[in-house]
Structures are given as C-alpha cells and as structure tokens.
A and B are shown apart, each in its own frame.
Chain A
C-alpha cells in the first residue's frame, strides 16, 4: 500500500502531513492500513531537489549510493568523426568539431542512442553522477531519501532509483512518499504506481489553483484515487471547499491555522511530536484513507 503526499503548490504542508502520518503509523501496533495486517513501514522523501523530511524524522542514514546517467565516452582511435552520434542525439549533448568529439554531460538524458548508432562501435558509456540515494531508519520507520546534486537539472532519475530500491520488492506494509512540489515530470514520476494520493492544500487562491493542477495530473491523467487535507484551515476563503464538493473529492482532514504549529515546525519538530493533541486528527485521517482505499 503506497500513499503519495503531494500538493501542487509548495509550502502547503506536504512534509508536515507525510512525516506525521508516518509517525502516527509507527506509534500504532504496526502499519495496518491493509487487511493483511502489520508489515514494513517505509518513508521516502521524493522531493529530491529540496529534501526536508530528514530534518523532522531525524533518521540514521547508514547506506548511500550514487545515481548516475550513462553518458558517452568516445574512443578517438576508433572514431572516424562521421557525426552520426550528433545527428541522432535529440538533446545536442554530443557534437563533432573537426577531429574532436565534445560531450555535454548536463544535456545528456542517457538514452544510449549514440552508442547504438555509432558505425565504428567507438562509443562506450560511463556513469555521470547526478545525485545520491541514502537509506536508513528512523525508529521503526525504514527511511529513504534522494538528493539531486547542485547544478544538475534532472530530478526524475533520482526519484526513479529511490522508488525502485525501496518499493520494487514491497509486498506488504505501507509506504509514504513525500512528493515534490509542482505538477510536472518529477511529480508524475513520484506518483507512478502508488495506491492513493493525498493532496495537502491551503484554502487560498494559490492553494486552489495548484490543487486543480495536481488533481488534473493525479486523478485525470494517472487515474489515481485522491483525497484532500486542508491545512491552515480558516486562513483564506471557502473556494477550496466549494471546488472539492463540486468535484466529489473528499476532504479527509482539516488542520487549523494555529501559530503554535508554524513555530514547532520552524524548529524541526514534527507536528504530532510537538503538539500531541493533533494525534487524534492524524489517527482519524489514517482511518479515512483506509476507508477510501477499500472503496
């Protein structure tokens, strides 16, 4: 059972909800969102451009692996400078200038077409490191996070590796994924193959605008079941409520506008740890998700 926590707009409280859900599940007898009963509890920070969940869950990370993209390395002895590699490259990541072949690693998507097409078989592929996947534990939670290297544009391969490492063999238990902001390719990559999408929003015009976009991707494009958590309830207007009612999207929880929450989070304390009175709200949210998934 894999739950992704997303939002569209940044800063609405994805990480707050995702980490608190994981802690609430860990505090129960075991993650038993499904009929099979307790199993592993996995938390993955898929917001690899700006991963923050570790600041709240404070895991011990004892395993680290690099994520690379295969980029071409040309054997200049074998190369005839015919230019076929540059011709087939959709990203202009390789070019032939006289008796030189230039490779631009940051533009390469690692498709391997240049190596396949080289008539002299003069291209082999080497790994260009773009990020890291780290793993460890936060109490009983199996924790994983991806981090994109500074200056690297492509977040998707890091997310793909993180999910593959922790979810490909997953048969029982619960995984909670902290999704990246926005609604473009990193968000889509995070949502692929999940069972349920929880969208955290705030009741403001910005929150609503980006919630609509996130629903378009999660529900309409990827045909996943979605539910909404309204954070900072009471801050703006009623338009998010109206939208959810019209669209038939369930609002599964409301976290009130409470300055104490903002202050606790600003110091890196998870919501349920700093303000235990919100524990009941999260247990209720878990119950709603359970009911939604069964439907």
Chain B
C-alpha cells in the first residue's frame, strides 16, 4: 500500500477557507512526485458539503471527520478528533495551511502523537528519497531546508500564498466521500469560545484599492506619517501600514496589512520603511507591482520588490510626491 498524504482543509464560519486550495495544490504536487496517495479531510460538525466540494478536485478520497463537539473550533476537540482519525487511517504526511487556527492546534496534535511539525513552509524539495521542507528564517533573510528525523505521521503547514489555489487540479470524477464519526468524551474540551467578531468598524476596504502606500517602522514617528499621506493623496492611493504602526495607534487597525490584518493584491504597492517581515509580506506579496523604499539594502522586502530604492524615505518621498503632482497637473 502506498503511503498517504492527507490534506486537512479548513472550514470556518460556514465556509471553506480558500487557502485550503493552496494546500491541496501542494498535496497534488507532492503526490505526483512521490507516488504517494492523496486524500483530504474536513473536520467539524455537519461538514458533508465541504467534503463534497473537495471531492471535486483530483484527490483519491475525502473524509468528513464529524462530531457535534467540533463546532465551535477548540484545540482540544480538533486534536482529539484528528488523533483518533490518524490512529485508524495512518498517514505519512499531513498537510495544512498555516492559518491562525492551524497554529492553534497542529503543534498540540503533533506533540500528542510524539511527532514533529514543520510549520510555515514555502515549498518542498525532493532529492532522491529524501524530502525537505523549505521555510523562511530570520524574518525572511535566510531560507532553510528542513527534514523530518522522526517517524510518520509528519506534519507540515504551508504559508499563505506559497502555492496557487487556482492551480488546484480538478478530478475527472468526484472522489468518494466517507463520514468518520469521532468520539470526544466529556471533559476533553476545556476552552469555551464565544462568538467571533470584527472589532474596528471597517471604514476602509483596502482589498478594493488599486494603489496602496504603506508605512512601516522606518517612518519613525507618528508625525512623519504625513509624508506618506501626502504621497497617497497625490497618487489617489489608500494609506496602509504594517502591524507595529497600528499597534502604536498611529494608524487605525483597519489600515493594517498582514496576517492579522488585510490581505491585498493591488495594482501597485509602495512599501515605505517596511523591512518585509513575513507577517507583513503574506498580506501583500500578491500585489502586481511592488516598489520598496528602505535604507537597509538587506531588508527582506527587496526580495519581492519589482523596484528597489535603497535610501532614506525622508529624502526620497517628498520630491516624489512633488513630481507626481507636477505630472498629474500636466507637467
């Protein structure tokens, strides 16, 4: 029997999280290269619809792992369910998207099984019989190829955007779907989650902006945001920021771009004084064109920038704003 790759997709608030298609794409690529079987699973209560949706893709089988205690999500319930499932459905490799929910339970699941998780991977490499998972280190400055030195199951999570969800292969026919009911004993679930809510009134929808001017720590002080604001106005762009700027209250939370904020893919993204930490990059690497201004030539943002300006943003931006105004005025 060939080894199995199991992709555990994510459903939340009654929807399949679209990032799951990215993980399935990764699973399909790995299955093709290793010759291992590819299966998928959805975990929750009343998740048959999601399982059927996944069964439309090129995958050997889909499981709906069911228990009423799996809704709402808690790490205790999800780990109990998956641990039970994996004991009767052994897998070589278990793949998941590196979402906040997966981060909340996959290390617990791996530990409960005495196994390892390689998290936030951006790809993999197969060299002969050996499988390496590639991940960024030191906030993107370096990359590492990591291997498992433990027994299966191996757990790996993939970073948002590491694979293209739209590249997932459809199946020739619908894959079989099997419901697996799991038992979660009383007392297993210790957390009591409340309703999910959005805090800030979303005054601006950055995902709709064609041009975004974003500021990071390099802006140094709150009063300097004016410089970026002027540029944004001149360009007809929306103003956005990396997390630290919003944490300091210099810009409201709904202007945050990154894993905790908005994910955007505008026509043009100008990153001013942003180093390019992973948590920010995942929120904007889909931009069509990226222009970065940073005084540190080694800043990771330059790895994904189409245009790089290594220099002091306080020197660079004001003349740029003026030049743009001139150009717009017909100069």
A and B part of one assembly: no
Q: Which residues of B contact A (CB under 8 A)?
A: none
Q: Which residues of A contact B (CB under 8 A)?
A: none
